[in-house]
Structure 1
Amino acid sequence: MLKSTELSNKFEKITKNLKLANKFNFLLMLVFLGSIIVGGFIFSNLLTQKAQEEITNQANSLLQSMNSVRDYTTDEIIPLFENKLQNSTEFIPQTVASFSARKVFDNIRKNERYKDFVYKEATLEPTNVIDKADDFERQIINQFSSNPANTEQSGFRNLPSGKAYYIARRLNFDNPTCLQCHSTPDKAPKSQLAIYGDKNGFGWQLDKTIFAQIIYVPADRILQRANHSWWLVMTIEIGIFAIIILVINLLLRRAVIKPIIRISKLAQAVSTGKASSDFEQKSNDEIGVLAASFNRMKSSLEIAMRLISQKNQ
């Protein structure tokens, strides 16, 4: 209550010497600025949320596609080469789920729309160095490993190509047949060693979190589009408010300011005995009531003046 009174007093001091139209414009500007700030903040949050939902939906759709490729490879491709894989005499990269998923995603990236998207099954000790986790991804894998309940992470990250939104999901090493390629170099197929060497991708243990499935979706364009929409809406809102203020000012000047100015001038003339015409009452609103009140006051004043004149005579 005290703060409200203080604000009221400050407002009165600021507007004390302003004319009625200026006071009204001052109030309109305060309302206008408040509306712009509050509306801009709310709309910015809504646009950011919508942009993030769009990015998340894109990421989830691509992850679902990659998981479908992985499942197809595991369920349909591997059984076709089961004998060769058991003999361990030949290494077939196409039977590796992560290899198939990466190849399919590389084909997706040939589309201009997806060229900046990145799919990676980041691994602590990968067979193919292209899958090696960087420091950021290694941290995610370690968090997955230390917290079994944590199966997914998401957020924003700066990449050389720009700001990206990522979704990372835990992938456990739980397929015993994979140990023939990832336990020790002497058990791995010679064709695998010929392709990838004997230094990488070994020492894996079952039921350990050693890699994470990560999709990176470029966010700059989507966020820029949201920012452009925000500026467009704010510009339209400012234009609408400017038109409203202009129209209100014109109506205010015509319906309030001009009648009050006429009443004020006539009242000043009557007070000095220089006017005999009545105050114009063109409406029944507050201005009309004011004019009628001045007319009654003028009549009372004229009667009083005549009585005084007659008494003096």
Structure 2
Amino acid sequence: MLKKLKDFKIGTKFNLLLIIVFIISIVVSGTALSSVLQQRAQNEVADKALILIKTMNAVRKYTQDNVNPRLAPQLESEPVFLPETVPAFSATEVFENLRKNDEYKNFLYKEATLNPTNLRDKADSFETQIVERFRNNSKIQEIADFRDVPEGKVFYIARPLAIKQEKCLRCHSTPEQAPKSQLTTYGSNNGFGWKLNEIVAAQIISVPSEEVFNSAQKTWILIMGLLIAIFAVVVILINFLIKKTVIERIKRIEKIAQQVSTGDMEANFHDDNKDEIGGLAAAFNRMKYSLRIAMDMLNQQGQ
């Protein structure tokens, strides 16, 4: 391979070098750009999830501090339970209203509970594993990751929910202590046996990420296309400039050197440039003059 490479002309060698540099540059820049865009897409999805989960926590707090104290006394007098007193219900309903917008229809929010009063909050197998992780390790305060669902790839954030207030146990300790309206609405089989400070659920919000990552992929393809086009133009320009400023001048010197070697002493290595090739042409001219003087001296001695 090296022997064949030695047989190549300077222009061919230089083009090969440019192509190698071109390929390496594209691979390195493409890899770096892909990593940056992927990280940016992940951060964008995570930011959406964080904003929504903070919003739901604000709804829960408002319900706990403002709505529940006003409506709680009615739980004994009303024939049916008032779910608006429950922070989880308020947050879920607000989020369901949000999902009516096309932009958020594929977003999901759930306070997945192992033993819920309202069975719509019942944790599935995946959610149960998350709740159990929180219960087995109290140091874990958040789980964030990607998962595949039938609708596509989603990014989820999960946080533990524990019973922090004694008054919450009134509805979840035993059926005997629960409001009658609650038993009438939900029965006495679910949502009891909870304990203070016990993690009973996981607050999970899922944000679709397929579209964001597809957008990042399209951006990568567009930028890489532009980079390839720019690199190609640069390579062509460099190749043209090298051909005009180096290769053609060297070929001209080579042609004149061949003429001189066959006895044409009138041929001149003319090059006005002050660079290395110009210096080479001047050196050849001096060599030609020296050769002419030497030949003249030999001719005189022969006579």
Tell me whether the two structures share a fold, i.e. TM-score over 0.5.
yes
* TM superposition score normalised by structure 2: 0.94
Q: Which runs of 4+ in 1 moved over 6 A?
A: none
The residue that corresponds to 2:106 in the other structure is: 116
The residue that corresponds to 1:302 in the other structure is: 292
Q: Separation in 2 of the partners of 1:305 and 1:140?
A: 97
| % identical aligned pairs | 49
Structure 2 unaligned residues grouped into runs of 5+: none
Q: Separation in 1 of the partners of 2:188 and 2:150?
A: 31
Cα shift at 1:279 = 0.8
The residue that corresponds to 1:41 in the other structure is: 31
Contact 1:88–1:189 under 8 Å retained in 2:
no
Q: Report the CA distance shift for 1:169/1:13 in structure 2 as closer, same or farther (over 3 A).
A: farther
Cα shift at 1:17 = 2.0
Contact 1:73–1:95 under 8 Å retained in 2:
yes
Deviation per residue, 1:102-148 (Å, 9 max, x gap):
00001111111111100111111122222222222222211111111
Amino acid at match of 1:213: Q
The residue that corresponds to 2:266 in the other structure is: 276
The residue that corresponds to 2:94 in the other structure is: 104
Cα shift at 1:89 = 6.3
- The structure 1 residue matched to 2:145, chosen from 143, 155, 159, is 155
Q: Separation in 2 of the partners of 1:196 and 1:275?
A: 113
- The structure 2 residue matched to 1:63, chosen from 53, 58, 64, is 53
Matched, 1:217 2:188: no
- The structure 2 residue matched to 1:166, chosen from 138, 153, 156, is 156
Amino acid at match of 1:114: Y
The count of residues paired between Structure 1 and Structure 2 equals: 303
- Alignment map for 1:172-187 (pairs within 5 Å): 172-187=162-177
Deviation per residue, 1:173-215 (Å, 9 max, x gap):
2233333332334544444344434433222222111111111
Contact 1:170–1:209 under 8 Å retained in 2:
yes
- Alignment map for 1:142-291 (pairs within 5 Å): 142-274=132-264, 276-291=266-281
Partner of 1:182: helix, strand, or coil? coil
Cα shift at 1:224 = 0.9
- Alignment map for 1:22-41 (pairs within 5 Å): 22-41=12-31
Partner of 2:189: helix, strand, or coil? coil
Amino acid at match of 1:118: L
Structure 1 unaligned residues grouped into runs of 5+: 1-9
Partner of 2:199: helix, strand, or coil? strand
Q: Separation in 2 of the partners of 1:115 and 1:275?
A: 88
Contact 1:185–1:202 under 8 Å retained in 2:
yes
The residue that corresponds to 1:130 in the other structure is: 120
Contact 1:88–1:180 under 8 Å retained in 2:
no
Q: Separation in 2 of the partners of 1:190 and 1:122?
A: 25
Q: Quote the RMSD (CA, aligned, Å).
A: 1.9
Partner of 2:7: helix, strand, or coil? coil
Higher mean alpha-carbon deviation, 55-64 vs 87-96, is at: 87-96
Amino acid at match of 2:37: L
Contact 1:59–1:215 under 8 Å retained in 2:
yes
Higher mean alpha-carbon deviation, 176-185 vs 214-223, is at: 176-185
Contact 1:154–1:166 under 8 Å retained in 2:
yes
Partner of 1:183: helix, strand, or coil? coil
Higher mean alpha-carbon deviation, 197-206 vs 82-91, is at: 82-91
Deviation per residue, 1:137-182 (Å, 9 max, x gap):
2222111111111111111111111101111111112233333332
Contact 1:266–1:275 under 8 Å retained in 2:
no
Partner of 2:171: helix, strand, or coil? helix
